Structure 1
Amino acid sequence: MPHGPDLSISEVIRAELGAPVLVRRLDSSPRSDVSLVEFDGAPAIVKRVTGGPDAADRFRNEVTALRLAGQVRPSPVAALLAADPADLVLVLEYLSHTRPAEVRWTVDYAVALARLHTSPTAGLPPYRGAGQDDVDAFLSLAQRLDVPVPPSAADELRAVLDRLDGDGAGSLLHGDPCPDNAVLTDDGIRFVDLEGAQRGPAMVELAYLRIGFPTCWCVTALPAAQIAAAEAAYHDTRRSLGHPTTGDDLTDACVGWLIQGDALVQRAARRGADHWAALTRADWEWGTATARERLLHRLDVVTTMTAGHTQLAGVAALTDAMRSLVRQRWPRLSTLPMARNNPLTAGD
């Protein structure tokens, strides 16, 4: 997006919002250009969706999700002020931010997530999480690490996928509900960047708090007390909006994130590669942790959650053995940073 007063913004948007003046470019993913712009003196965020043959689909998806979630009050998303499909440009409400108390952000995050999940879902694509290819690749990883695979593990993992596929398919999922896609305002947290929005099981995103924000560069661990308070707030919010809770057992969702190889790399690098095979050859950094550190954290979480779980006895044995082997093979791996303070974006 060009700098200076002559922005490449169509007459469609100019006619609706007024004359644009660029204030500054903002940090964004490789697949979008984002700027703070004033229209006749009023601040707004201008986002142009770029990169890849699916850019038009991602634009339509985000517009659809913003309009659907915008029906909830208080809204869990930034308001969509204008959109031009010809240029793949969205204009969003500029969200002024505030700073939360040190521990409070997790509760505010969970409340906003519950509001988002109870939004209408018409027109959104179905959830696409871990699949059979992920099961096969994860079990192959165990074999490459010389970890025996219990006979029941493959069937148990397939059953997890079946349960996730059929559970709570009516929820509006953000697709990437990371701390840097959330802004804490005076009215609560509002989400941005909904290109990956889907309709699917709410538990896969509520599990972010336990599994460590798996699709995020800023992957972190949370103290148990913060997780418990946030999950309670999530369920309370759903009930207050007249929606059933998702249940307290997030084991399946965490198992799904553990085996999903795409959760080791940023969004632009997902789909089509066996990241588990690459992991045995080399480690790589992404944000706050390496790929192997992400694996170790997820193995810790799933091993704890599956202990004594009758439907996942083979998975429990497998992840426990893999965790031990990973620690022995790569003894210098660090634990994930502990997010005691607020990791949310400062708004700009």
Structure 2
Amino acid sequence: MDPDVLQASARQMGFQAWDGQDELTGGRSQTVVVWKRDQHFVLKAYDPAGPSAGAREQSALHALDGASGTPRSLAEGVDPSWVLMSRLAGTGSLADALLGSDPEAARGALLSWAEALARLHEAGTPQVRAAFRTALEGRAPHLDARSLPKDFTDAAAKLPRLLDELSLPGHEAALSVLQDLPARLAGEEWEVLSPADACPDNNLLDADGMRLLDFEFAELRHAAWDVAYLRVPWPSCWCAWRLPDDVADEAVARYCSVRGAAAQESDFQEAIDLATMGWQVMTSAHFIPGALTDDDNARTDRPSRRAFVLHRLGQAACTSPSNALTTLAGDLHGALRERWGDLRLDQAPSFRL
């Protein structure tokens, strides 16, 4: 950790220096546990070339202020960008459970994740969302509080070249549908403050359930985008193993039960279906270029890009009723399967019998 960041963070807390530090593994930013006597904190320093250089996470933590068990922001710096957070209790994560050998433990952790997501969404009140927008504008005026539309626009821009390379039709209507899809899931009723990267490793399990971590990509978006993580599955995560359908359905039901009757109505269920298909096609567009040139199928610690791209496109192609986007997914799936073979996406290790 940068000595200047260590010193600045300690002094903001009223200390001359920390007694020590331990590096935490994983993640895109440099993160350490620091302590003074018996007080422990998490210090995170951001890459200035990163997607938001910490502004999204700093703004989200400020707005949430510890709600729903999230870390509290205790101090922060701008140049370089860093945040000092409260250290949450807990050991292990949903990723640990999914990569383990106990299917019941994995199922329980998945249900805890769904409950934690629901509680976090409930904590994102209109006042909290307004605080996030204000905080983000103050830290990074160039960043939009809603970043998902750009991801879909970028995906739609990448696809024409990929379609041409695969000798497929242009699918102009489908590209228009893809680009406009985030606008179909809009409005105040279901808008939430999302971590936008609620992957299986971005959480901690404790005796009371699960706490969600990592808000580096935080944004405002429809709740269905996060719930659909269970069905895609895990569109932004390295451990994107397949979940058993009944377990995924149970976790979605648990989320909806916590959120109440409105989440169980057909409109919200249809929004989850739409978000699932959107993730499956959009993320495939971003992963296909790398998968065409790099066969990472030999890895055993995570699914290969080719396997999860084929799974996502195959699932999207089967979405009912069929439309321009399902036709696009089907054409891509067929062309890529012809090149790569019929690769199967395995279930998470804990569910393999």
Mapping for residues 37-48 of structure 1, pairs under 5 Å:
37-48=34-45
Alignment of 1:181 onto 2:179: no
Hey, what's the Cα distance between the residues in 2 that align with 1:84 and 1:206? 33
Structure 1 equivalent of residue 113 of structure 2: 109
Of 238, 246, 254 in structure 2, the residue corresponding to residue 233 of structure 1 is: 254
Q: TM-score, normalised by structure 1?
A: 0.78
Provide the secondary structure at the position in 1 that maps to 2:260.
helix
Provide the secondary structure at the position in 2 that maps to 1:134.
helix
Hey, what's the Cα distance between the residues in 1 that align with 2:284 and 2:188? 22
Gaps of 5+ in 1: 265-274, 342-348
Alignment of 1:28 onto 2:26: yes
Of 133, 147, 150 in structure 2, the residue corresponding to residue 127 of structure 1 is: 147
Alignment of 1:78 onto 2:92: no
Q: Structure 1 residues 317, 79: closer, same or farther in 2, change over 3 A?
A: same
Q: Structure 1 residues 148, 340: closer, same or farther in 2, change over 3 A?
A: farther
Task: Note the C-alpha offset of 1:86.
Answer: 4.6
CA contact (8 A) 2:53 2:81 kept: no
Provide the secondary structure at the position in 1 that maps to 2:249.
helix
Mapping for residues 131-170 of structure 1, pairs under 5 Å:
131-148=152-169, 152-165=173-186, 170=191
Q: Structure 1 residues 34, 260: closer, same or farther in 2, change over 3 A?
A: same
Q: Which amino acid aligns with 1:116?
A: L
Structure 1 equivalent of residue 58 of structure 2: 63
Q: Which amino acid aligns with 2:36?
A: F
CA contact (8 A) 1:303 1:320 kept: yes
CA contact (8 A) 1:221 1:339 kept: no
Choose 43-52 or 207-216, whichever is displaced more.
43-52
CA contact (8 A) 2:5 2:82 kept: no
Alignment of 1:201 onto 2:222: yes
Task: Note the C-alpha offset of 1:115.
Answer: 1.9
Provide the secondary structure at the position in 1 that maps to 2:63.
helix
Structure 2 equivalent of residue 271 of structure 1: none
Provide the secondary structure at the position in 2 that maps to 1:29.
coil
Which structure's residues are more often helix, by fraction?
2
Gaps of 5+ in 2: 98-104, 134-144
Structure 2 equivalent of residue 344 of structure 1: none
Q: Structure 1 residues 292, 157: closer, same or farther in 2, change over 3 A?
A: same
Hey, what's the Cα distance between the residues in 1 that align with 2:285 and 2:44? 25
Q: Structure 1 residues 87, 153: closer, same or farther in 2, change over 3 A?
A: closer
Residue identity over aligned pairs, in percent, reads 24
Q: Which amino acid aligns with 2:203?
A: A
RMSD across aligned positions (CA): 3.2
Q: Structure 1 residues 257, 61: closer, same or farther in 2, change over 3 A?
A: same
Structure 2 equivalent of residue 254 of structure 1: 276
Q: Structure 1 residues 14, 233: closer, same or farther in 2, change over 3 A?
A: same
Q: Which amino acid aligns with 2:178?
A: L
Of 304, 312, 321 in structure 2, the residue corresponding to residue 298 of structure 1 is: 312
Q: Which amino acid aligns with 1:300?
A: G
Q: TM-score, normalised by structure 2?
A: 0.77
Task: Note the C-alpha offset of 1:207.
Answer: 0.9
CA contact (8 A) 2:56 2:216 kept: yes
Hey, what's the Cα distance between the residues in 1 that align with 2:327 and 2:239? 29
Provide the secondary structure at the position in 1 that maps to 2:54.
helix
CA contact (8 A) 2:48 2:80 kept: no
Provide the secondary structure at the position in 2 that maps to 1:121.
helix
CA contact (8 A) 2:235 2:283 kept: no
Hey, what's the Cα distance between the residues in 1 that align with 2:277 and 2:194? 18
CA contact (8 A) 1:62 1:197 kept: yes
Q: Which amino acid aligns with 1:224?
A: D
Hey, what's the Cα distance between the residues in 2 that align with 1:157 and 1:88? 35
